[in-house]
Amino acid sequence: MTSNITKSHAPQCEGATAPQLFDDWFDPIETAVRERAREFIEELIRGELDAALARERYERSRKAGHEGTPGMTGHRHGSRTRSLTGSFGPIEIAVPRARINTADGKTTEWKSQSLRAYQRRTLAADALIASCYLAGTNTRRVRRALVALFAGAIGKDTVSRVWRKVKSDWDAWNARSLAEEPIVRLILDGTVVRVRLDRKSTAISLLVIIGVRADGQKILLAIKSMGGESTEAWRAVLDDLIRRGLRRPEFLIVDGAPGLEAALAAVWDGVPVQRCTVHKHRNLLAHAPERLHDEITADYNDMIYAATHEEIEARRKAFIRKWRLKHRAVADSLQEAGDRLFSFTRLPPSQWKSARTTNAIERLHEEFKRRIKTQTVLPSADTAAMLFWALLASGQINMRKVDGWKTLATKPIDQPIDLAA
Protein backbone atom coordinates (compact mmCIF):
# COMPACT_ATOMS: atom_id res chain seq x y z
CA MET A 1 0.00 0.00 0.00
CA THR A 2 1.43 3.27 -0.97
CA SER A 3 1.40 6.36 1.14
CA ASN A 4 1.31 9.91 -0.15
CA ILE A 5 3.81 10.90 2.51
CA THR A 6 7.48 10.20 2.52
CA LYS A 7 10.12 11.84 4.61
CA SER A 8 11.13 14.00 1.70
CA HIS A 9 7.56 15.12 0.97
CA ALA A 10 6.11 15.43 4.45
CA PRO A 11 4.30 18.69 5.19
CA GLN A 12 6.44 21.08 7.19
CA CYS A 13 5.36 23.20 10.11
CA GLU A 14 6.70 26.66 10.66
CA GLY A 15 10.07 26.50 12.35
CA ALA A 16 10.48 22.76 11.86
CA THR A 17 11.88 20.63 9.08
CA ALA A 18 10.14 17.53 7.81
CA PRO A 19 12.56 15.11 9.52
CA GLN A 20 11.97 16.85 12.86
CA LEU A 21 8.22 16.50 12.61
CA PHE A 22 7.81 13.12 10.94
CA ASP A 23 11.10 11.32 11.41
CA ASP A 24 10.38 7.70 12.36
CA TRP A 25 6.66 8.46 12.21
CA PHE A 26 5.46 7.30 8.78
CA ASP A 27 6.39 3.84 7.63
CA PRO A 28 3.79 2.41 5.24
CA ILE A 29 5.71 -0.80 4.51
CA GLU A 30 4.67 -2.54 7.68
CA THR A 31 3.36 -5.99 8.57
CA ALA A 32 -0.03 -4.53 9.42
CA VAL A 33 -0.40 -3.09 5.92
CA ARG A 34 0.54 -6.33 4.22
CA GLU A 35 -1.85 -8.29 6.43
CA ARG A 36 -4.73 -5.94 5.68
CA ALA A 37 -3.97 -6.08 1.96
CA ARG A 38 -3.81 -9.89 2.08
CA GLU A 39 -7.20 -10.12 3.80
CA PHE A 40 -8.73 -7.68 1.35
CA ILE A 41 -7.47 -9.43 -1.80
CA GLU A 42 -8.44 -12.88 -0.49
CA GLU A 43 -11.93 -11.61 0.32
CA LEU A 44 -12.32 -10.21 -3.18
CA ILE A 45 -11.28 -13.50 -4.79
CA ARG A 46 -13.54 -15.57 -2.52
CA GLY A 47 -16.43 -13.27 -3.35
CA GLU A 48 -15.74 -13.60 -7.05
CA LEU A 49 -15.79 -17.42 -6.82
CA ASP A 50 -18.95 -17.38 -4.67
CA ALA A 51 -20.64 -15.29 -7.34
CA ALA A 52 -19.38 -17.57 -10.13
CA LEU A 53 -20.78 -20.68 -8.43
CA ALA A 54 -23.82 -18.79 -7.12
CA ARG A 55 -23.18 -20.09 -3.60
CA GLU A 56 -20.83 -19.47 -0.71
CA ARG A 57 -18.17 -21.85 0.50
CA TYR A 58 -19.55 -25.05 2.12
CA GLU A 59 -23.02 -24.30 0.71
CA ARG A 60 -24.51 -27.14 -1.34
CA SER A 61 -24.97 -26.79 -5.07
CA ARG A 62 -28.36 -25.50 -6.12
CA LYS A 63 -30.82 -28.20 -7.08
CA ALA A 64 -32.74 -28.05 -10.31
CA GLY A 65 -35.75 -25.81 -9.99
CA HIS A 66 -34.38 -24.03 -6.91
CA GLU A 67 -34.85 -20.30 -7.23
CA GLY A 68 -31.73 -18.19 -7.00
CA THR A 69 -29.11 -16.40 -8.99
CA PRO A 70 -27.94 -18.58 -11.85
CA GLY A 71 -24.21 -19.32 -11.88
CA MET A 72 -21.70 -21.79 -13.20
CA THR A 73 -21.78 -25.37 -12.03
CA GLY A 74 -18.72 -26.94 -10.55
CA HIS A 75 -16.98 -27.69 -7.29
CA ARG A 76 -14.18 -26.31 -5.16
CA HIS A 77 -11.05 -28.30 -4.49
CA GLY A 78 -8.84 -26.59 -1.96
CA SER A 79 -6.59 -23.62 -2.52
CA ARG A 80 -3.11 -22.72 -3.62
CA THR A 81 -0.66 -20.13 -2.37
CA ARG A 82 0.37 -17.27 -4.57
CA SER A 83 3.04 -14.67 -3.89
CA LEU A 84 2.20 -11.12 -4.92
CA THR A 85 4.45 -8.09 -4.79
CA GLY A 86 2.79 -4.73 -4.37
CA SER A 87 3.92 -1.33 -3.28
CA PHE A 88 3.59 -2.55 0.32
CA GLY A 89 6.01 -5.42 -0.24
CA PRO A 90 5.54 -9.16 -0.90
CA ILE A 91 2.52 -11.01 0.48
CA GLU A 92 1.37 -14.62 0.36
CA ILE A 93 -2.31 -15.11 -0.44
CA ALA A 94 -4.50 -18.21 -0.52
CA VAL A 95 -6.30 -18.48 -3.87
CA PRO A 96 -9.30 -20.85 -3.88
CA ARG A 97 -9.41 -23.53 -6.58
CA ALA A 98 -12.48 -24.80 -8.39
CA ARG A 99 -13.37 -27.04 -11.32
CA ILE A 100 -16.01 -25.54 -13.62
CA ASN A 101 -18.33 -27.61 -15.83
CA THR A 102 -18.39 -26.29 -19.39
CA ALA A 103 -21.32 -26.37 -21.82
CA ASP A 104 -19.77 -29.24 -23.81
CA GLY A 105 -19.63 -31.48 -20.73
CA LYS A 106 -15.96 -30.95 -19.97
CA THR A 107 -14.38 -29.38 -16.91
CA THR A 108 -11.86 -26.57 -16.67
CA GLU A 109 -9.92 -24.91 -13.89
CA TRP A 110 -11.54 -21.70 -12.64
CA LYS A 111 -9.40 -18.57 -13.02
CA SER A 112 -9.85 -15.43 -10.97
CA GLN A 113 -10.37 -12.32 -13.05
CA SER A 114 -9.92 -10.03 -10.06
CA LEU A 115 -6.48 -11.52 -9.31
CA ARG A 116 -5.41 -10.95 -12.89
CA ALA A 117 -6.71 -7.39 -12.73
CA TYR A 118 -4.86 -6.85 -9.47
CA GLN A 119 -1.60 -8.05 -10.98
CA ARG A 120 -2.03 -5.57 -13.83
CA ARG A 121 -3.02 -2.66 -11.60
CA THR A 122 -1.03 -3.18 -8.40
CA LEU A 123 -0.58 0.46 -7.39
CA ALA A 124 -4.20 1.36 -8.02
CA ALA A 125 -5.39 -1.71 -6.12
CA ASP A 126 -3.20 -0.84 -3.17
CA ALA A 127 -4.68 2.66 -3.08
CA LEU A 128 -8.20 1.22 -3.11
CA ILE A 129 -7.41 -1.10 -0.25
CA ALA A 130 -6.59 2.00 1.76
CA SER A 131 -9.68 3.73 0.42
CA CYS A 132 -11.94 0.94 1.62
CA TYR A 133 -10.48 1.33 5.09
CA LEU A 134 -10.74 5.10 5.05
CA ALA A 135 -14.07 5.57 3.28
CA GLY A 136 -16.33 5.46 6.33
CA THR A 137 -19.75 4.09 5.51
CA ASN A 138 -19.62 5.33 1.93
CA THR A 139 -19.22 1.91 0.30
CA ARG A 140 -20.96 3.11 -2.87
CA ARG A 141 -17.98 5.25 -3.85
CA VAL A 142 -15.52 2.44 -3.09
CA ARG A 143 -17.65 -0.07 -5.03
CA ARG A 144 -17.70 2.15 -8.11
CA ALA A 145 -13.92 2.44 -7.99
CA LEU A 146 -13.45 -1.29 -7.48
CA VAL A 147 -15.79 -2.22 -10.31
CA ALA A 148 -13.90 0.12 -12.63
CA LEU A 149 -10.53 -1.22 -11.50
CA PHE A 150 -11.43 -4.91 -11.70
CA ALA A 151 -13.44 -4.66 -14.90
CA GLY A 152 -16.71 -5.70 -13.28
CA ALA A 153 -15.30 -8.75 -11.50
CA ILE A 154 -16.20 -7.32 -8.09
CA GLY A 155 -19.86 -6.97 -7.18
CA LYS A 156 -21.80 -4.99 -4.60
CA ASP A 157 -22.06 -7.95 -2.22
CA THR A 158 -18.30 -8.45 -2.15
CA VAL A 159 -17.61 -4.81 -1.29
CA SER A 160 -20.32 -4.89 1.36
CA ARG A 161 -18.76 -8.03 2.85
CA VAL A 162 -15.37 -6.34 3.01
CA TRP A 163 -16.95 -3.30 4.62
CA ARG A 164 -18.59 -5.52 7.26
CA LYS A 165 -15.15 -6.94 8.05
CA VAL A 166 -13.77 -3.43 8.54
CA LYS A 167 -16.75 -2.47 10.73
CA SER A 168 -16.30 -5.68 12.73
CA ASP A 169 -12.64 -4.81 13.34
CA TRP A 170 -13.64 -1.34 14.54
CA ASP A 171 -16.29 -2.68 16.92
CA ALA A 172 -13.90 -5.31 18.29
CA TRP A 173 -11.21 -2.69 18.86
CA ASN A 174 -13.63 -0.53 20.85
CA ALA A 175 -14.64 -3.47 23.02
CA ARG A 176 -11.22 -5.07 23.58
CA SER A 177 -9.94 -5.77 27.08
CA LEU A 178 -7.19 -3.48 28.37
CA ALA A 179 -6.46 -5.52 31.49
CA GLU A 180 -3.16 -6.88 30.13
CA GLU A 181 -1.92 -3.58 28.69
CA PRO A 182 1.06 -2.36 30.79
CA ILE A 183 0.13 1.33 30.39
CA VAL A 184 2.19 3.73 32.53
CA ARG A 185 1.38 7.07 30.90
CA LEU A 186 -1.55 8.68 29.08
CA ILE A 187 -1.56 11.55 26.58
CA LEU A 188 -5.00 13.13 26.14
CA ASP A 189 -6.21 15.78 23.72
CA GLY A 190 -9.17 16.71 21.55
CA THR A 191 -9.63 18.12 18.08
CA VAL A 192 -12.60 19.61 16.24
CA VAL A 193 -13.93 18.32 12.89
CA ARG A 194 -17.08 19.04 10.92
CA VAL A 195 -19.60 16.28 10.25
CA ARG A 196 -23.08 16.08 8.80
CA LEU A 197 -25.82 15.84 11.42
CA ASP A 198 -29.47 16.17 10.41
CA ARG A 199 -28.31 17.38 6.98
CA LYS A 200 -26.36 20.23 8.56
CA SER A 201 -22.62 20.79 8.92
CA THR A 202 -21.87 20.53 12.64
CA ALA A 203 -18.63 20.87 14.60
CA ILE A 204 -17.91 17.97 16.95
CA SER A 205 -14.96 17.02 19.12
CA LEU A 206 -12.86 13.90 18.68
CA LEU A 207 -11.46 12.94 22.07
CA VAL A 208 -8.21 11.02 21.66
CA ILE A 209 -6.19 9.08 24.22
CA ILE A 210 -2.76 7.58 23.57
CA GLY A 211 -1.23 5.16 26.04
CA VAL A 212 2.47 4.64 26.65
CA ARG A 213 3.42 1.09 27.57
CA ALA A 214 6.14 0.21 30.06
CA ASP A 215 8.49 -0.49 27.14
CA GLY A 216 7.91 3.03 25.77
CA GLN A 217 5.70 2.08 22.84
CA LYS A 218 2.79 4.45 22.16
CA ILE A 219 -0.59 2.95 21.24
CA LEU A 220 -4.00 4.42 20.49
CA LEU A 221 -6.33 3.59 23.38
CA ALA A 222 -9.47 5.55 22.55
CA ILE A 223 -11.00 7.81 19.92
CA LYS A 224 -14.56 8.99 20.57
CA SER A 225 -16.86 11.43 18.81
CA MET A 226 -18.42 13.84 21.30
CA GLY A 227 -20.33 17.10 21.19
CA GLY A 228 -17.54 18.90 23.03
CA GLU A 229 -14.78 18.57 25.62
CA SER A 230 -16.94 18.83 28.71
CA THR A 231 -16.16 17.06 31.97
CA GLU A 232 -19.03 14.67 31.27
CA ALA A 233 -17.73 13.81 27.78
CA TRP A 234 -14.20 13.09 28.99
CA ARG A 235 -15.52 11.19 31.99
CA ALA A 236 -17.52 8.90 29.69
CA VAL A 237 -14.38 8.06 27.69
CA LEU A 238 -12.27 7.47 30.82
CA ASP A 239 -14.95 5.36 32.51
CA ASP A 240 -15.13 3.13 29.44
CA LEU A 241 -11.36 2.53 29.54
CA ILE A 242 -11.47 1.72 33.25
CA ARG A 243 -14.43 -0.60 32.74
CA ARG A 244 -12.35 -2.53 30.20
CA GLY A 245 -9.50 -2.96 32.67
CA LEU A 246 -7.15 -0.03 32.13
CA ARG A 247 -4.77 0.30 35.06
CA ARG A 248 -4.18 3.51 36.99
CA PRO A 249 -1.47 5.39 35.05
CA GLU A 250 1.61 6.93 36.66
CA PHE A 251 1.68 10.16 34.63
CA LEU A 252 -0.81 12.18 32.56
CA ILE A 253 -0.18 14.73 29.78
CA VAL A 254 -3.06 17.05 28.83
CA ASP A 255 -3.75 20.09 26.67
CA GLY A 256 -5.13 22.17 29.53
CA ALA A 257 -8.86 21.88 28.78
CA PRO A 258 -10.68 22.41 32.12
CA GLY A 259 -13.25 19.68 31.40
CA LEU A 260 -10.51 17.11 30.90
CA GLU A 261 -8.62 18.09 34.04
CA ALA A 262 -11.80 17.88 36.13
CA ALA A 263 -12.59 14.42 34.73
CA LEU A 264 -9.06 13.18 35.49
CA ALA A 265 -9.22 14.49 39.05
CA ALA A 266 -12.44 12.56 39.57
CA VAL A 267 -11.06 9.18 38.44
CA TRP A 268 -7.32 9.38 39.19
CA ASP A 269 -6.80 11.98 41.88
CA GLY A 270 -3.16 12.24 42.89
CA VAL A 271 -1.63 11.15 39.57
CA PRO A 272 0.83 13.82 38.32
CA VAL A 273 -0.64 15.88 35.47
CA GLN A 274 1.51 17.72 32.93
CA ARG A 275 0.00 20.70 31.09
CA CYS A 276 1.27 20.84 27.51
CA THR A 277 3.98 23.49 27.32
CA VAL A 278 3.20 24.21 23.66
CA HIS A 279 -0.44 24.98 24.44
CA LYS A 280 0.57 27.26 27.31
CA HIS A 281 3.02 29.11 25.07
CA ARG A 282 0.13 29.86 22.69
CA ASN A 283 -1.94 31.08 25.64
CA LEU A 284 0.80 33.50 26.69
CA LEU A 285 1.08 34.98 23.21
CA ALA A 286 -2.70 35.40 23.04
CA HIS A 287 -2.50 37.69 26.08
CA ALA A 288 0.04 40.10 24.55
CA PRO A 289 0.42 42.35 21.49
CA GLU A 290 2.42 40.92 18.61
CA ARG A 291 5.34 43.27 19.23
CA LEU A 292 6.06 41.37 22.48
CA HIS A 293 5.79 37.85 21.07
CA ASP A 294 9.46 37.30 20.30
CA GLU A 295 10.53 38.47 23.75
CA ILE A 296 7.92 36.33 25.50
CA THR A 297 8.96 33.30 23.45
CA ALA A 298 12.64 33.78 24.27
CA ASP A 299 11.95 34.10 28.02
CA TYR A 300 9.52 31.16 27.99
CA ASN A 301 11.88 28.82 26.14
CA ASP A 302 14.74 29.85 28.42
CA MET A 303 12.60 28.69 31.34
CA ILE A 304 10.98 25.55 29.89
CA TYR A 305 14.15 24.16 28.33
CA ALA A 306 16.48 24.82 31.27
CA ALA A 307 18.66 21.83 32.13
CA THR A 308 17.73 21.25 35.79
CA HIS A 309 14.76 21.46 38.13
CA GLU A 310 16.47 24.23 40.09
CA GLU A 311 17.19 26.31 36.98
CA ILE A 312 13.61 25.99 35.79
CA GLU A 313 12.33 27.07 39.19
CA ALA A 314 14.62 30.13 39.27
CA ARG A 315 13.77 31.17 35.71
CA ARG A 316 10.05 30.83 36.37
CA LYS A 317 10.36 33.28 39.24
CA ALA A 318 12.32 35.68 37.03
CA PHE A 319 9.67 35.36 34.28
CA ILE A 320 6.85 36.20 36.70
CA ARG A 321 8.67 39.21 38.17
CA LYS A 322 9.54 40.65 34.75
CA TRP A 323 6.18 40.22 33.07
CA ARG A 324 4.15 41.39 36.04
CA LEU A 325 5.70 44.77 35.39
CA LYS A 326 5.89 44.65 31.59
CA HIS A 327 2.54 43.03 30.71
CA ARG A 328 0.70 41.57 33.69
CA ALA A 329 -1.72 39.40 31.68
CA VAL A 330 1.22 37.27 30.54
CA ALA A 331 2.43 36.68 34.09
CA ASP A 332 -1.11 35.88 35.23
CA SER A 333 -1.51 33.35 32.41
CA LEU A 334 1.68 31.55 33.41
CA GLN A 335 0.65 31.49 37.07
CA GLU A 336 -2.74 30.05 36.11
CA ALA A 337 -1.04 26.82 35.02
CA GLY A 338 0.51 26.37 38.47
CA ASP A 339 3.00 23.57 39.01
CA ARG A 340 1.28 21.38 36.41
CA LEU A 341 3.24 23.16 33.70
CA PHE A 342 6.40 21.71 35.27
CA SER A 343 5.33 18.21 36.30
CA PHE A 344 7.79 16.82 33.75
CA THR A 345 10.60 17.81 36.15
CA ARG A 346 9.42 15.02 38.47
CA LEU A 347 10.65 12.51 35.88
CA PRO A 348 14.22 11.62 34.89
CA PRO A 349 15.66 14.28 32.51
CA SER A 350 15.83 11.72 29.69
CA GLN A 351 12.00 11.75 29.62
CA TRP A 352 11.50 15.51 29.67
CA LYS A 353 11.26 15.92 25.91
CA SER A 354 8.41 13.44 25.51
CA ALA A 355 6.66 14.39 28.76
CA ARG A 356 6.41 18.15 28.20
CA THR A 357 3.82 18.20 25.40
CA THR A 358 0.88 16.48 23.74
CA ASN A 359 2.79 16.53 20.44
CA ALA A 360 2.22 12.80 19.88
CA ILE A 361 -1.52 13.43 19.51
CA GLU A 362 -1.10 16.77 17.77
CA ARG A 363 0.79 15.01 14.98
CA LEU A 364 -2.07 12.55 14.58
CA HIS A 365 -4.51 15.47 14.42
CA GLU A 366 -2.43 17.13 11.71
CA GLU A 367 -2.18 14.00 9.60
CA PHE A 368 -5.88 13.18 10.04
CA LYS A 369 -6.93 16.65 8.88
CA ARG A 370 -4.51 16.49 5.98
CA ARG A 371 -6.14 13.26 4.86
CA ILE A 372 -9.69 14.68 5.02
CA LYS A 373 -9.00 18.19 3.73
CA THR A 374 -10.77 17.42 0.44
CA GLN A 375 -13.90 16.53 2.43
CA THR A 376 -15.12 19.74 4.05
CA VAL A 377 -17.77 17.80 5.94
CA LEU A 378 -17.50 14.12 6.95
CA PRO A 379 -20.56 11.87 6.48
CA SER A 380 -21.17 11.25 10.19
CA ALA A 381 -19.69 11.46 13.69
CA ASP A 382 -19.07 7.70 13.71
CA THR A 383 -17.21 7.95 10.41
CA ALA A 384 -14.93 10.67 11.82
CA ALA A 385 -13.77 8.50 14.72
CA MET A 386 -13.40 5.45 12.51
CA LEU A 387 -11.30 7.32 9.96
CA PHE A 388 -8.94 8.47 12.71
CA TRP A 389 -8.60 4.92 14.02
CA ALA A 390 -8.07 3.54 10.53
CA LEU A 391 -4.96 5.65 9.99
CA LEU A 392 -3.24 3.51 12.62
CA ALA A 393 -5.17 0.26 12.18
CA SER A 394 -4.27 0.10 8.50
CA GLY A 395 -0.59 0.67 9.29
CA GLN A 396 -0.38 3.97 7.40
CA ILE A 397 0.95 5.69 10.52
CA ASN A 398 3.15 4.08 13.13
CA MET A 399 4.00 5.58 16.49
CA ARG A 400 7.52 5.12 17.74
CA LYS A 401 8.64 4.75 21.34
CA VAL A 402 8.79 7.80 23.55
CA ASP A 403 12.11 9.50 24.18
CA GLY A 404 13.71 8.27 27.38
CA TRP A 405 11.74 5.03 27.43
CA LYS A 406 14.59 3.12 29.10
CA THR A 407 13.95 5.07 32.32
CA LEU A 408 10.16 4.64 32.38
CA ALA A 409 10.47 2.24 35.29
CA THR A 410 11.57 5.18 37.45
CA LYS A 411 8.53 6.50 39.32
CA PRO A 412 7.76 10.26 39.38
CA ILE A 413 9.24 11.92 42.45
CA ASP A 414 7.23 14.14 44.79
CA GLN A 415 9.09 17.37 44.09
CA PRO A 416 6.75 20.04 42.72
CA ILE A 417 8.01 23.42 41.57
CA ASP A 418 8.09 26.15 44.21
CA LEU A 419 5.42 28.60 43.04
CA ALA A 420 6.59 31.51 45.18
CA ALA A 421 7.55 34.40 42.88
- Per-residue pLDDT tens for 351-403? 999 999 999 888 888 877 776 665 566 667 777 787 788 777 766 667 889 99
Give residue 103's pLDDT: 77
Single-letter code of the amino acid located at 9: H
Ordered by start, the domain boundaries in the chain are 18-58+71-174, 181-382+403-407
Single-letter code of the amino acid located at 327: H
Helix runs in 244-358, H state only = 258-267, 277-286, 293-304, 309-326, 328-337, 352-355
Indicate the pTM of the whole model: 0.67
Rounded Cα distance between 44 and 146, Å, is: 10
Cβ neighbors of 266 (< 8 A, separation 6 or more) are: 231, 235
In contact, 356 and 185? CB cutoff 8 Å: no
Residue 104: Cβ within 10 Å count: 5
Residue-by-residue DSSP string for 261-279: HHHHHHHSTTS-EEE-HHH
Question: pLDDT tens digit string along 334-354?
Answer: 999 999 999 999 999 999 999
Higher-scoring residue by pLDDT: 405, 121: 405
Higher-scoring residue by pLDDT: 185, 385: 185
Higher-scoring residue by pLDDT: 339, 34: 339
Please state, rounded to an integer, the average pLDDT across all residues of the chain.
Answer: 78
Nearest to 397 by CA among 193, 180, 130: 130
Higher-scoring residue by pLDDT: 113, 311: 311
Residue 78: Cβ within 10 Å count: 8
Question: pLDDT tens digit string along 80-110?
Answer: 888 776 555 567 888 888 888 887 888 888 8
Give the model's confidence band at 61: pLDDT under 50 very low, under 70 low, under 90 confident, else very high: very low
Give residue 34's pLDDT: 59
Give residue 389's pLDDT: 83
Give residue 37's pLDDT: 67
- β-bridge partners, 203: 194
